[in-house]
Amino acid sequence: MTKAIIVRSAAILALALIPAPALANGFFIYEVSAAGVGMGGAQMAGTDEPSAVFYNPAAMTHLPGVQFQLTLTTYIPTAEHVSPTGLSESASAMPQPVPALFATWKPLSWLAAGFGMYTAFGLSIEWPDDWSGSFLAVESSLQSTQLQPSIAFGPWHGLSIGGGFDFLLGSVEIRRAYPGLRLDDGTPARMRLGGNSWGWGTNLGIHYTPIDLLSLAVIYRSQIQVKLDPGAVDFTFPASFSGMLNDQDVKTGITVPQILGAGARLKPIGDLALEFDAVYAFWSSYNKLVFEFSEMAPAESVKNWSDAWQFRLGGQYRIKKWTVRTGIILDLDPIPDESLDPMLPDATRIDVSAGGGYSFGTFNVDLAYMYVYVFDRTVDESQNVFPGTYKSTVHVVSLGAGAKF
């Protein structure tokens, strides 16, 4: 293989961009409150806490006064790749803490406003520097912060409408190695892509309580065009490649999908609440990535993801100052076999959760745990450039606190 072919291949293979393991459909994160984690994310029709800004802004009209909520959710992922020959290699299982903050204010009986700061897309994965898939991924990280101001009107005969804007600010870092090329110190040649990303979108929610025992909800989040403009690509290659593969700027972007959801919460007896939510993510918008280099011809990476459903069922029961919760999620995978890679070794998932909360005066605390079981997924060499079986799990622990004034 000539140096020119190696250079071109390195530049294209360097950039399959961004996704990193998250806890919901694709790389969409839904764990923004401990109560929500405890109920398997089935919160769309709920009216319990300020995280309604995220789950359904229309529900803010049911939150009196001024309320605050702070949550810290920690993800402990495991990922393993088993090659067709039986070689097993594992990614780092370092805990990844993610905070979220929400506030709501209801100045009038028919008007409410709120603000949220949280992570809706991201997390990261890191494989050993010298593992067999290092040419595809050593580290992949998308760290983002989403800012959401929202406003809601109602309820009119039980009906509320709310919405707002989503401002996404983030940073991207991807590292890869090229084991076939060695530096003078014997380490593999490598590349790094990094930069800051941004984008914005809108959100809308409807909340309807036709009778005291039943609440219905519909939510919509628009797609967000997240731009990396510019990012930087740094190559560390042998001296013999000098002048052929220079560090340079790169522009690209990713389309975060639009999301449509509906939910129903039933209160059959006393302080028992049951909720079922269905969410549809339009991941087909993530069909390819185009990269514009400052010193090389453009390149593209084909993704061809599919739209996917997620179903959530949760329940909670209040016992005086205590609340107990549980939930289950079925999360269908949007990634086709040909696009599966170590940066996001995803598959269909089943999540089970449990949690509890305690209220004292104007304050409350919540704690929840979720186990994410990712079905084993095998791709062969006719489907994928890196055949084998991926095995993953995630442990999620969420701690939250709130106050009402």
What one-character-per-residue DSSP string does 199-232 give? EEEEEEEEEEEEETTEEEEEEEE--EEEEEEEEE
Torsion of CA 49, 74, 142, 114, to 10 degrees: 10
Does pLDDT of 97 surpass 80? yes
- pLDDT of 339 over the 80 cut: yes
Q: What is the pLDDT of residues 260-299, one digit of tens each?
A: 999 999 999 989 999 999 999 998 888 887 888 888 888 8
392-402: average pLDDT: 95
- 41: region left, alpha or beta (phi > 0 left; psi from -120 to 50 alpha): left
Whether the CB-CB separation of 260 and 280 falls below 8 Å is answered with yes
Q: Which of 309, 306, 288, 310 is nearest to 298 (CA)?
A: 288
Domains of the chain: 3-404 (2.40.160.60)
Mean pLDDT (the chain) is 88
Higher pLDDT, 60 or 131: 60
**In contact, 282 and 223? CB cutoff 8 Å:** yes
Higher-confidence residue of 32 and 16: namely: 32
Mention every residue, 6+ apart, whose C-beta is less than 8 A from residue 227: 197, 198, 199, 251, 252, 253
Select the more confidently predicted residue: 327 or 228.
327
- How does residue 402 score in pLDDT terms, banded at 50, 70 and 90? very high
- Distance between CA 40 and CA 22 in Å, rounded? 15
> What count of residues does the chain have?
405
Task: Please report the pLDDT score of residue 16 as a whole number.
Answer: 45
Instruction: Name the most confidently modeled range: 115-129, 154-168, 188-202, 293-307.
Output: 154-168
Q: Between 243 and 174, whose confidence is greater?
A: 174
**How many Cβ atoms sit within 10 Å of the Cβ of residue 266?**
15
Query: Could you tell me the two tokens for 205?
Result: 């929610």
pLDDT at 27 over 80: no
40 and 314 Cβ atoms separated by less than 8 Å: yes
Tell me, rounded to whole angstroms, the distance of Cα 311 from its chain centroid: 16
Using one digit for the tens of pLDDT, what is the confidence trace for 142-191? Answer: 778 899 999 999 988 899 999 999 998 888 888 888 877 888 788 888 88
| pLDDT-based confidence at residue 21 (cuts at 50, 70, 90) | very low
Q: Are strands 65-82 and 388-404 parallel, antiparallel or unpaired?
A: antiparallel
Q: What pLDDT is attached to residue 18?
A: 43
Mean pLDDT confidence for 119-135: 81
Going by DSSP bridges, is the β-strand pair 299-302/349-360 parallel, antiparallel, or unpaired? unpaired
